[in-house]
């Protein structure tokens, strides 16, 4: 049954790609491109939710092999709970900001290939959430980054052009390091398939042979690349300067999603490969790479959380406050990673998805605030609660979700992470996390009191009458409202969401299920017969009951066709 | 061969890092392009020595096996050679893998080159547009441009 579902997962890449290509010839006509774009995001969202629920019920990981080449030789596309949660949220965020863009995008931006670019961005993002191959991850990062470079400079204003080079150059440099690291990983382990790498690392640890020389250095290189994309502590300097220059719906999408792709890459690869837990291997005390990397991540988390929020408190423009806040919030996710227990990773994943939704809706609120005041400088804002009560309510809910007041979504993410940190000897990080939460409240209240409670300044531009702004940005309100409702669902429905996140965390810390889902039995037997015996013991049906073939693996097309007719 | 490659990689890295330390956007771009080439060369070194200890592939924990053999027949030959070798270690069996270099890193490089080419095109366009809009390519001047003015309120 799951065999038929397996091939559906490639639709997450095909739908945005097809929609993007379709909207290229329609570039001058906004209505058809909007319909295509909305349908594309809505369909990937519904598909992700369906597959997530189905996969949770069946307790399976969906795997699709491109061109029927089995792992580890072909590219495999893997849909587990982590991918599912992130795909659903990314599509929802894209849908929200896309609907918002109807009312806020200038026409020259729409004509500048906005629709195809945003679809291709989502194509890259979805592929990087799905792929089970490190080099394919690099390729999908490049697809995503090319689209993001173009979206960042769309319209080509002076302000954008003078800041864009930082983002482009740094990401090019990171991509180069990624290529080198991927090559080194291949040289060290002889494979680039993530499941296969995990299996080999596990075997090397279990056999007492130990990890290859320079494995920690390799892990640090990967960490450097992903940390730069995810804006971890020493590598976040590019973010505040770039996110505030582009059109607001794009800024919302970037602020919500792009850094999370970097965090996702760490969440995917590190527990699986580099910092694999050795708790179930009796002969090994501790994975030496794990200890080193977790310390680096813990220190990065402390600085990311605290310096990020200090930066946000010091700013006085809404867009820059929100941009720098992204960094501070990434810090919580990194904190969850530094603990790296299953429950902490569940907290980290939950925090990621809630942050994508909430941060994007805050950026989108900022877009309508700018429409009212003509600027995002807090001194020029004021009286918005009276002028636009609906916006005030939406902003308040989103801001308090970000801060993490109890019934709202941010609370559940932070609570789990901080509690797990406290129980696992990282009490100093938990204290920093709590302090950061207080400062987050301060900076959000700053926007709230300046923008919404302060008396209205005398010099609001005449053109922006409240009624005009409201009537011209209906789709903006719809976009924000959708995301805020989703954020409320994440808060009040945290229990079911945490079931998925918990399963995802379990799948991450004990990669056996992932290895078993992706790799064919023959490969596991070849590399690690004991593990194969353990994994397939008691399952004894169809493929597993075949006799153990003594002939060595034939690694060619014929072999693959035999396994997957 | 590996030494020659290593020297090439080192020199290319050195030049590109020197170029990237400059304060001019064009030089920065050239540095970024060169470092891409250095990365590709360093991956080439990964495929340098032909195939590692394939004869022990299914006995020890050494895993590096090139994923491609030329044909079905060759694959069968190889597996037969393995069996003969395992039974009679003293016998000299011709093994196709002794002459082959692992082709996968070259495929990786090819992908990276193509992507790098596209990115290069984009970056050059970006630089031309930056020059037109901002009238300068000096990083110091660009950095001063359009920074938000500190608020007077406090």
Burial class (CB in 10 A: 0-12, 13-18, 19+), A257: buried
Of the two residues A1 and B25, the one the predictor is more confident about is: B25
Is pLDDT at A353 greater than 50 in this prediction? yes
Please give the average per-residue pLDDT across A198-216, as a whole number.
84
Q: What is the mean pLDDT of residues A469-482?
A: 87
Q: What is the pLDDT of residue A379?
A: 80
For residue B153, tell me if it sits in a domain: no
Q: Could you report the per-residue pLDDT of A120-141, keeping only the tens digit for each? A: 999 999 999 999 999 999 999 9
**Residue A382 near residue A456 (C-beta atoms within 8 A):** yes
Question: In this structure, are B37 and B112 located in the same domain?
Answer: yes
Distances B55 to B52, B96, B142 between C-alpha atoms, Å: 9, 12, 59
* B138 and B75 together in one domain: no
Give the best residue of A176, A455, A523 to mutate against chain B (max B CB count within 10 A): A176
Contact A157 B133 (CB under 8 A): yes
pLDDT for residue B93 is more than 70: no
If asked whether residues B62 and B134 sit together in one domain, one would say: no
The answer to whether residues B2 and B41 belong to one domain is: yes
Q: How confident is the model at residue A543 (pLDDT cuts 50, 70, 90)?
A: very low
Do A162 and B134 make contact, defined as CB atoms within 8 angstroms?
yes
Determine, yes or no, domain membership for B151.
no
Interface contact flag, A149 B126, Cβ < 8 Å: yes
pLDDT of A511: 84
Least confident of A9-13, A386-390, B34-38: A386-390
Residue B145, chain A, CB below 8 Å: the answer is yes
Lowest model confidence (mean pLDDT) among A216-225, B56-65, B87-96, B141-150? B56-65
pLDDT of residue A265: 94
Q: What is the mean pLDDT of residues A328-348?
A: 91
Q: What is the pLDDT of residue A94?
A: 94
Looking at the fold, whether B21 and B94 belong to one and the same domain comes out as no
**Cβ atoms B112, A181 nearer than 8 A:** no
- Name the residue range of residue B3's domain: 1-48+102-144
- Residue by residue, DSSP assigns A383-415 as -HHHH-HHHHHHHHHHHHHHHT-TTSHHHHHHH
- Residue B52 is predicted with a pLDDT of 41
Domain residue limits, chain A: 2-519, 529-565
pLDDT value of position B73: 63
A68: left (phi over 0), alpha (psi -120 to 50) or beta: left
| Structure token digits, residue A58 | 């069946």
Is ipTM strictly over 0.90?
no
Pick the range with the lowest mean pLDDT from A226-240, A414-428, B63-77: B63-77
pLDDT digits (tens, 9 = 90+) for A267-288: 999 999 888 887 777 667 778 8
Better-predicted residue by pLDDT, A160 or B36? B36
Task: Summarize pLDDT for A62-120 with one digit per residue, the tens.
Answer: 988 887 777 777 889 999 899 999 999 999 999 999 999 988 887 788 888 899 999 99
Mean pLDDT of chain A: 85
Looking at the structure, tell me whether residues B110 and B40 fall in a common domain: yes
pLDDT for A17 equals 94
| Those residues with Cβ within 8 angstroms of residue A138's Cβ, 6 or more apart along the chain or in another chain | A175, A178, A179, A182, B112
DSSP class of A317: B
Backbone angles phi, psi at A208, to 5 degrees: 80, 0
Cα(A5)–Cα(A1) distance, rounded to whole angstroms?
7
Interface of B with A in 61-90 (CB under 8 A): 61, 63-69, 71-72, 75-76, 78-79, 82-83
Lowest mean pLDDT among A103-112, A332-341, A385-394, B78-87: B78-87
CA distance A533 to chain B (A): 16
Question: Which residues, numbered 159 to 178 in chain A, qualify as contacts with chain B under a Cβ-Cβ cut-off of 8 Å?
Answer: 159, 161-165, 168-169, 172-173, 175-177
Does residue B74 have a pLDDT over 80? no
Give yes or no: residues B57 and B25 share one domain: no
Could you tell me if residue B7 is inside a domain? yes
The pLDDT value given to residue A564: 39
A539-to-A182, A485, A534 alpha-carbon distances in Å: 35, 43, 10
pLDDT above 70 coverage of chain B, percent: 60
- A565 has pLDDT over 60: no
Statement: residue A509 has pLDDT above 80: yes
Domain match, B11 and B75 both? no
Cα–Cα distance measured from residue A124 to residue A111, given in angstroms and rounded to the nearest whole number: 22
**Domain containing residue B111: CATH number:** 1.10.287.3510
Q: Which of residues 333-372 of A touch B (CB under 8 A)?
A: none
Cβ-count burial of A438 within 10 angstroms (0-12 exposed, 13-18 middle, 19+ buried)? exposed
User: Is the predicted pLDDT of residue B145 greater than 50, yes or no?
Assistant: yes
Please check whether residues B123 and B138 belong to one and the same domain.
yes
* Residues in chain B within 8 Å Cβ distance of A176: 32, 35-36, 38-39
- Please judge whether B43 and A183 are an interchain contact, meaning their C-beta atoms are less than 8 angstroms apart: yes
CA-derived radius of gyration, chain B: 25
How far does the CA of residue B59 sit from the closest CA of chain A (Å)? 9
Mutation target for A interface from B59, B119, B135: give the one with most A CBs within 10 A: B119
Number of domains present in the structure of chain B: 2
* Residue that has been written with the tokens 């799905």 in this structure: A130
**Contact residues on chain B for A524, CB-CB shorter than 8 A:** none
């Amino acid at each position: 049954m799951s065999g038929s579902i397996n091939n559906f997962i490639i639709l997450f890449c095909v739908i945005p790609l097809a929609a993007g290509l379709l909207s290229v010839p329609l570039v001058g006509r906004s209505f058809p491109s909007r319909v295509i774009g909305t349908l594309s995001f809505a369909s990937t969202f519904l598909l992700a939710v369906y597959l997530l629920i189905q996969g949770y019920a069946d307790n399976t990981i969906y795997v699709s092999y491109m061109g029927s080449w089995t792992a580890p030789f072909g590219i495999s596309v893997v849909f587990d709970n982590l991918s599912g949660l992130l795909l659903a949220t990314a599509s929802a965020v894209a849908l929200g900001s896309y609907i918002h863009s109807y009312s806020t995008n200038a026409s020259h931006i729409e004509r500048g290939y906005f629709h195809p670019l945003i679809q291709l961005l989502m194509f890259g993002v979805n592929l990087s959430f799905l792929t089970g191959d490190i080099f394919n991850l690099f390729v999908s990062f490049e697809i995503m980054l090319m689209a993001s470079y173009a979206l960042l400079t769309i319209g080509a204003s002076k302000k954008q052009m003078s800041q864009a080079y930082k983002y482009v150059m740094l990401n090019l440099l990171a991509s180069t390091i990624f290529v080198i690291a991927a090559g080194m990983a291949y040289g060290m382990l002889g494979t680039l398939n993530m499941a296969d790498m995990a299996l080999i690392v596990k075997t090397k640890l279990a056999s007492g042979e130990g990890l290859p020389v320079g494995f920690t250095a390799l892990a640090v290189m990967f960490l450097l690349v992903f940390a730069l994309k995810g804006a971890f502590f020493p590598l976040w300097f590019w973010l505040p300067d770039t996110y505030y220059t582009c059109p607001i719906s794009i800024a919302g999408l970037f602020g919500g999603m792009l850094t999370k792709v970097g965090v996702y890459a760490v969440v995917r690869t590190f527990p699986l490969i580099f910092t694999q837990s050795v708790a179930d291997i009796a002969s090994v005390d501790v994975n030496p790479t794990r200890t080193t990397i977790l310390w680096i991540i813990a220190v990065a988390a402390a600085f990311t959380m605290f310096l990020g929020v200090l930066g946000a408190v010091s700013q006085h423009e809404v867009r820059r406050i929100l941009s720098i806040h992204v960094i501070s919030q990434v810090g919580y996710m990194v904190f969850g990673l530094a603990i790296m227990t299953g429950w902490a990773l569940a907290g980290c994943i939950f925090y990621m998805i809630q942050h994508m939704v909430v941060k994007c809706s805050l950026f989108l609120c900022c877009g309508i605030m700018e429409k009212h005041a003509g600027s995002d400088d807090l001194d020029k804002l004021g009286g918005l609660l009276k002028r636009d009560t609906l916006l005030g309510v939406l902003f308040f809910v989103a801001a308090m979700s970000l801060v993490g007041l109890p019934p709202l979504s941010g609370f559940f993410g932070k609570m789990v992470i901080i509690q797990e940190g406290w129980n696992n000897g990282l009490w100093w990080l938990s204290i920093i996390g709590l302090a950061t939460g207080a400062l987050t409240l301060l900076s959000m209240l700053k926007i709230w009191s300046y923008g919404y409670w302060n008396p209205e300044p005398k010099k609001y531009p005449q053109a922006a009458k409240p009624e005009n702004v409201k009537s011209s940005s209906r789709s903006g309100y719809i976009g924000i409202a959708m995301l805020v409702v989703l954020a409320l669902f994440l808060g009040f429905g945290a229990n079911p969401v945490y079931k998925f996140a918990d399963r995802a965390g379990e799948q991450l810390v004990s990669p056996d299920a992932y290895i078993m889902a992706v790799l064919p039995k023959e490969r596991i037997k070849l590399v690690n017969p004991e593990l194969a015996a353990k994994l397939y013991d008691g399952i004894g049906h169809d493929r597993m009951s075949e006799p153990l073939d003594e002939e060595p693996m034939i690694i060619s097309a014929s072999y693959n066709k035999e396994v997957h007719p | 061969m590996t030494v020659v490659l290593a020297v090439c990689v080192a020199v290319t890295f050195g030049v590109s890092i020197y170029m990237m330390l400059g304060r001019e956007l064009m030089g920065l771009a050239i540095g970024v392009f060169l470092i891409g080439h250095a990365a590709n060369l360093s991956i080439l070194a990964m495929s340098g020595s032909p195939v590692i200890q394939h004869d022990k592939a299914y006995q020890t924990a050494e895993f590096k096996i090139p994923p491609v053999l030329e044909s079905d027949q060759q694959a069968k030959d190889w597996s037969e050679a393995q069996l003969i070798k395992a039974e009679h270690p003293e016998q000299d069996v011709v093994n196709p893998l002794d002459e082959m270099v692992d082709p996968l890193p070259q495929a990786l490089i090819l992908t990276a080159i193509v992507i790098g080419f596209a990115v290069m095109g984009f970056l050059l366009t970006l630089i031309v547009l930056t020059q037109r809009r901002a009238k300068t390519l000096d990083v110091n001047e660009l950095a001063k441009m359009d920074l938000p003015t500190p608020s007077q309120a406090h």
